[in-house]
Structure 1
Amino acid sequence: MKKWIDRLLGGTSKETDAAPGPVPAAAVDGDDMAAEIDSAFYRWLAASHGTNAKPEVEEAILAEVLALADDPENASGLVPRIPDLVAQLLNALSDENISSAAVAAEVGRDLVLVAEVIREANSAYYRPAKPIETLDGAVAMLGLNGLRMLLARIAFRPLVRVKVQGVARAVAPNVWRHSERCAFAASVMAPGLSASVFEAYLAGLMQNVGLQVAFQVADRHCEGKVPGSGSFGIELFAASRRLSSVIAQHWDFPADVVEAIAKAGEPDAPDASHLTQALAQGDRIAKLRLLIDGVVIELDDSFVTKGLNGFQRRCLGKLAELAD
């Protein structure tokens, strides 16, 4: 596992230096606002499968998730492995001096990846002047960093889109949508906080791995349902972040990424790293984007107008352009 992590992180130091940076801003209402957003997001995520679970059932679920966090080897075994081809491509992309032609040759070994790269280059995010139809054109549009991020997303899909039944399977599409948007938003927030762009992106993708395992646990205890209360959701998010962080540590993720995931629930703590703050901001923006898209809140909701600064609101708008 360590080798593919090293490949993912190849050449990231230059990305942070080159990226433009926003002016960071603290959350308006601090922990209370974050808790309210987490509560609303969990209720929306679990709406079709929520039930009025007894307190002892909620406690048993949280205890099992935390127990898994104390047994990272067993916990990581519940998550699929990374595809070998993606790891090989990331290894090639770790070379900052690699030519566009060489990148195109590597990607061209797999027709599915070719289609993914061309599709990404034609997405609303990149907005090409005219449709891009060739792999060479797509590689030129995305650039080395864009390709790294695309391949990282491809690598993480099987981790979050687990092949299970019940609640975990039902919520998987929206959990993955949040992961993608969190990764993007965190990477946008990173430069203004002097954090690594790609480590922020990687942390955003990794953060929900534990949540999918946690939904499997909840499903077993509630027989096809999950506790529906927002207060439980807040605690489940916290426990699953801890689980994600220990799995990341077991897989030899960089210590900064592991710490950011573990502490993303406390970005205003005196010892919170810049990467932690970037991840927490990205997480909030992504959750608000999905709540807006799900017609749970409006763009003029106080969660948006008071909870985000101007730069973060622009990022929120940009997330609407990301294709599923």
Structure 2
Amino acid sequence: MLKEKVDEVLRDVNKLPAISSVVSKVLEKLQNPDVNINELASEISKDPAITASVIKISNSAYYRASKPIRTVSEALMTLGTKTVKEIVLLTAAKGILAQDLHSYQLEAAQLWSASLLVAEMSSRIVQSKKLPIDKDLAFTSGLLCSVGKIVLSQFFQPVLFQLKNELKENKEPFPTLEKKYFGYTHMEVSENLLNKWNFPPELVDVVANYLNPENSKVNQLLTSVVHIASIIIIVSGIGIDIGGESVPISPLALSLTGITDADIENYFLHIPDLQAGLADLLNV
């Protein structure tokens, strides 16, 4: 069975997408509100690639630093710990998501663009509806929702013909078909990965439930925001994969966030502005 093969991969850390140990340690330190900035800078600096990326992205037009940033410490002092955490996760996510997923009919550039747009749309929703969620948390929560697809994509080939035929006749949400054929949805695989990477429970909960916010156990409002953002981006045609537009917006998510039809129409209209604003990050 394919499920047994997926289980085998999930048990073997060498077969899974890797994330720098520095990222896990930084996230752990940032769970302490009194984290020492010098200690945090020292931890980030242990990974030269992340250090270079933090400095480069901190100086991008997207973050609009008030002065040139030359070190990780300056990035922390100028932009704040929450923003630097966002940049660290952005760097880690690009390293994982920058690959073609032919089985899902997604190219690397499409996957990365869609992931960034879901993150940015999540942040915009929080700000526009004045929700009691940190916009940086909303951004990072929306960034990694597709990571489980990277693992599942390698198992499509044996069942791809059957799956495509079923898609023509079956109107069920695509994660239901993932579960049927592979024993897992990409959300369950994402949850497994983020747990292995020691990510905070709030982020794990979002990737595990972003298409079913009713099942969220940690922060249902945050999960609802990412749920709505992800569907808006997919329906706009960005990052649309083999599953198409099979997941409807949850009424519970709309109720919790207070988002109206007029809001959704406005979010669609501003997608080109989001894309323009993210131009620097698309090429990190």
- Counting only pairs closer than 5 Å after superposition, residues 1-324 of structure 1 correspond to structure 2 as 64=2, 67=3, 74-75=9-10, 77=12, 78-98=15-35, 100-128=37-65, 132-135=68-71, 136-161=73-98, 167=103, 171-190=107-126, 192-195=130-133, 197=135, 200-222=138-160, 227=164, 235-237=173-175, 239=178, 240-244=185-189, 246-247=191-192, 251=196, 257-266=203-212, 273-287=220-234, 291=238, 308-310=264-266, 313-314=269-270, 317-322=273-278, 323-324=281-282
* Inter-partner Cα distance in structure 2 for 1:260 and 1:198: 14
Change in CA separation of 1:96 and 1:260 when aligned onto 2, cut-off 3 Å:
closer
Task: Tell me, in whole angstroms, the C-alpha distance in 2 between the residues paired with 1:122 and 1:161.
Answer: 22
The aligned length equals 243
CA shift, 1:133, in A, is: 4.7
Map Cα deviations across residues 217-265 of structure 1 (whole Å, 9 max, x no partner): 2245449xx9496887974455344433552585476665455444433
Higher RCO by CA contacts (8 Å cutoff, separation 6 or greater): 1
Quote the Cα distance in structure 1 between the aligned partners of 2:101 and 2:232: 29
AA paired with 2:93?
F
Q: Retained in 2: the 8 A contact 1:190–1:278?
A: yes
8 Å CA contact 1:168, 1:216 repeated in 2: no
Alignment gaps of 5+ in structure 1: 1-62, 293-304
Of the structure 1 ranges 91-100 and 202-211, higher mean CA displacement relative to structure 2 is found in 91-100
Give me the whole-angstrom Cα distance separating, in 2, the residues matched to 1:169 and 1:157.
19
**2 CA distance for matches of 1:88 and 1:183?**
22
Alignment check: 8 A CA contact 1:73 1:250 kept: no
| C-alpha distance in structure 2 between counterparts of 1:231 and 1:317, whole Å | 36
Alpha-carbon distance, 1:178 to partner: 1.9
In the TM superposition, residue 208 of structure 1 has moved relative to its aligned partner by 0.7
Whole-angstrom distance in 2 between the partners of 1:165 and 1:288? 19
Amino acid at match of 2:277: E
Q: CA deviation at 1:147?
A: 0.9
The amino acid of 1:243's aligned partner reads E
- CA RMSD of superposed structures (Å): 4.4
Query: What are structure 2's unaligned runs of at least 5 residues?
Result: 179-184, 240-260
Q: Percent identity?
A: 19
Partner deviation per Cα, 1:265-318 (whole Å, 9 max, x = no partner): 34589x9921221111221344467739xxxxxxxxxxxx96725467557623
SS in 2 for 1:291: coil
| Cα distance in 2, alignment partners of residues 159 and 97 from structure 1 | 30
Instruction: Report the alpha carbon displacement of residue 146 of structure 1 after superposing the two structures with TM.
Output: 0.8
TM-score, with structure 1 as normaliser: 0.56
Distance in 2 (alpha carbons) for counterparts of 1:253 and 1:134? 28
Moved over 6 A (4+): 228-234
Task: Pick closer, same or farther for the CA change 1:231–1:142 going to 2, 3 Å.
Answer: farther
For the Cα contact (< 8 Å) 2:115–2:145, is it kept in 1? yes
Question: For the residues of structure 1 that align with 2:164 and 2:30, how far apart are their CA atoms?
Answer: 43
The 3-state SS of whatever aligns with 2:238 is helix
Greater shift after overlay, 79-88 or 306-315? 306-315
The SS at the match of 1:80 is coil
Structure-2 separation of matches of 1:253 and 1:310: 33
